[in-house]
Amino acid sequence: MLNLLFEIQRNREIIKRTREALKGESNNNFIRRVKKEFEEKKSKYKLVDSKLNEVEKNIEQLEKKLEDMKREVMQEESKLYGNLKYDLKFISTLEKSIELKKGEIRTLEEDSLNRLYDEENLLKERDMLRKELVDIKNEFYKNKKVSSDKIIKSKMEIKKAEDSILNCEKKVPKKLLDKFNELCELKGTGAAKLSNGVCSGCKMKVSAITIDDIKNNKDIVYCDNCGRIIYYSGHDE
């Protein structure tokens, strides 16, 4: 009969331990860390993407301005070299205008080149961040799958332990079960094994009187140190 009590205790411990593990899974620090890391990378990705869009707009504006400026230079050069009827003052003004515009073109081309370098660097950074986001996402779902599998397995273990407890309790006399449960409430466990006169619950040697009670097949024998059940004869069934 004591074996049934030990089995109940063992399964209760399984349930307690498994529920603690389940609580740990639900408060998975890894998942929280990955979520935080993902949100940080996502914010950085959006910032880089926004900068890239701005640079691309600047490049587009610069290219349009360059086209307009080059067209103006071509028109002025056409006037300068295509018709010699202009007076020297007008020609001088036209030449200065052409040189000024060519200087602006060089500045615009240099600025456009710098923007192209910026675009290239931002594209690389965005691609790198995109890859990191994909990796983090994959890692998250992989860990979530493992965590879900653990939760399912733990719930199955709890159900199995609960069924075993119910099955054992049906076989234990009510008086013994009530006393056992009362002791479990007080001490965590209600039954203990006796080995070489030592109680496994409190690790202390029981008295000679207690040993005699066991030898005399007393109905229920308790450890005289901790009070746990160490013997049951079954005479009162």
- Give yes or no for residue 237 having a pLDDT over 50: no
Q: Taking all residues of the chain, what is their mean pLDDT, rounded to a whole number?
A: 89
Q: What is the dihedral of CA 203, 205, 206, 211, to 10 degrees?
A: 120
Q: Alpha-carbon distance 47 to 53, whole Å?
A: 10
Domain spanning 2-171, CATH class: mainly alpha
- Give yes or no for residue 178 having a pLDDT over 80: yes
Q: Alpha-carbon distance 95 to 111, whole Å?
A: 24
Q: Alpha-carbon distance 228 to 188, whole Å?
A: 10
Ordered by start, the domain boundaries in the chain are: 2-171, 174-232
Per-residue pLDDT tens digits for 24-41: 766 667 778 888 999 999
**Residue in 157, 136, 150 with CA at minimum distance from that of residue 25:** 150
Per-residue pLDDT tens digits for 57-110: 999 999 999 999 999 999 988 887 776 666 778 778 888 999 999 999 999 999
Mean pLDDT of 102-126: 95
Q: Alpha-carbon distance 21 to 10, whole Å?
A: 17
pLDDT for position 20: 87
- Give yes or no for residue 145 having a pLDDT over 50: yes
